[in-house]
Amino acid sequence: MGVSEEEYVNFQKAWFQELRHAGYAVPHWPREWGGGLTVGQQMVLYQELAAHDAPRLTLAFVAIHHAASTLLAAGTDEQRRRHLPAILDGEIWCQGFSEPEAGSDLASLRTSARRKGDVYVVNGQKLWASGANHADWCLLLARTDPDAPKRHGISYFLMDMHAPGVDVRPIRQATGQSHFCEMFLTDVIIPASQLVGRENAGWQIAQTTLGAERGMVMLELAERLGNAGFKWLLQACVRPTPDGERPIDDSLVADRLAGFETEITALRFLCRRLVERNDEGRGGPADASVVKLYYSELLQRMMGFGADVSGLAAHAELEKPLSSGWESGAWVLDFIGSWEWTIPAGTSEIQRNIIGERGLGLPREPGVQ
C-alpha cells in the first residue's frame, strides 16, 4: 500500500528468500528440489500463514506452481536443472496462454511458432499475462501445425522474456493496478531445446500447468478466506455506522455472517478432500472445478457483502497492500478484484460445463467438438 513498484518487487523477493531459507517457500516440491513436506505438514503451514495474514507470494506464484509443475511433469533433465534452482534463487515467470480471441476457448489460440533449423520463430499476441512486466521467463503456448485440429497443433515452450522481439505492455485495471499485461511477439527466436515435450503435444502439457491451481493452492486460498477474509468481514459488521448502529445487530446481517462461516467450513473440507484424493491418486475429473467454482463465487459474495455493510465510507478506501490476497478490508477494491477469480483458468460457466459433463456424465453441448 502506497509503495512503488520497485519496492513491491524487492519486498516480494526478500520475503520469498526468507521463506525459502526456513524451508517453507516450496513445500509442495519434491525433497530433492527443496520441498518434501507431507500433505499434513503443508496443510498446517498454510493454515498458520493464513492465520497470521502473512504476505502472499504473488510475484513468485507462476514460477513455484505453474512453471515447477510443468518442468517436473514434462520437462527434460536439462530444463529442470536450469530452471528449478534458478526459481529458488528468484527467477520470475509469467504465463503466455490467453489471447484476444482465445480466453476460455484457449485451443483457438493463433500465436504461431515456425521451425527453422534448431530454432522456432514466434509471432503473435498474448493477453492477461500476470506479472509479465517483471518476468524473466514465460510458459508459452503457440501453434506449430496450423492444419491440425486446434487442440492437436499446439506446442509448449519456455520463452526468455528478455529475447529480442518481446514487447510487454501493462494493462491498467479497474482497481488502479497494472497486474495484468499484454505481450506482442515479433519474430522471437526460441531454441528448440526450450520446447517442452513433443512438438504439437502442448495441449496435454498445458493441462498439467493449469492443474497446478488445484490442491494446495486452493487450500491456501480457502484458509486465507476463512481467516483474514472472515476477520475483515466480522470487523466491518461490528463497527458502528455514522448513526451509531452496528450492522451485526441486524438479524439479517447476523444470518448472512453465520451462512458465510458455514460455507467456509464446507470449502475447507472440499479443499482438504481434493488434496487427499489427488495425493492418493483418486482425484476425480471434476474435483478441481467444484472447488474452483465454489471458492470463486463465495469470495465474490463475501467481498460484495463487505462493501454493502461498510457503506459509503468503503468507497473512499482506494488502496490495499500489494502483497495481500483477494481479501484485505478495502472492500470496493476487494469486490472488483474478486471477479478475477470467476474468469481465469476457466470461467464459472466453463467450470459448470466440466462438472456436468465430466463429473456427472451429462451429454456435451451441441456443436462442441
> Can you list the domains of the chain with their CATH numbers?
5-88 (no CATH), 93-200 (2.40.110.10), 210-359 (1.20.140.10)
CA distance 328 to 321: 8
Mean per-residue pLDDT for 63-90? 96
pLDDT at residue 220, rounded to an integer: 85
- The DSSP 8-state label assigned to residue 359 in this structure reads I
Output the nine-digit C-alpha cell for 321: 497492500
Q: Based on C-alpha coordinates, what's the Rg of the chain?
A: 21
pLDDT at residue 194, rounded to an integer: 98
pLDDT at residue 347, rounded to an integer: 85
Is 213 an annotated catalytic residue? Answer: yes
Decide if pLDDT at 196 tops 70.
Answer: yes
Confidence of residue 369 (pLDDT cuts 50, 70, 90): very low
Backbone angles phi, psi at 216, to 5 degrees: -65, -30
> C-alpha distances in angstroms, 278 versus 212, 214, 216, 275, 285?
12, 9, 10, 5, 11
For residue range 171-180, list pLDDT tens digits in order: 987 766 777 8
For residue range 140-183, list pLDDT tens digits in order: 999 999 999 989 999 999 999 999 999 999 998 776 677 789 99
CA distance 299 to 233: 11
Decide if pLDDT at 204 tops 60.
Answer: yes
pTM attached to this predicted model: 0.88
Mean per-residue pLDDT for 190-219? 86
- Residue 84's identity, in one-letter code, is L
- DSSP character string of 301-354: HHHHHHHHHHGGGGGG-----TT--S-SS-HHHHHHHHGGGGSTTS-HHHHHHH
Q: Which of 99, 182, 213, 340 is catalytic?
A: 213
- Tell which residue, 51, 27, 45, 17, has the closest CA to residue 229: 51
Question: How much is the mean pLDDT over the chain?
Answer: 90
pLDDT at residue 179, rounded to an integer: 77
Decide if pLDDT at 89 tops 80.
Answer: yes
82: left (phi over 0), alpha (psi -120 to 50) or beta: alpha
SS3 content of the chain, % helix, strand, coil (to 5): 50, 15, 35
Burial environment of residue 170 by CB neighbours within 10 A (0 to 12, 13 to 18, 19 or more): middle
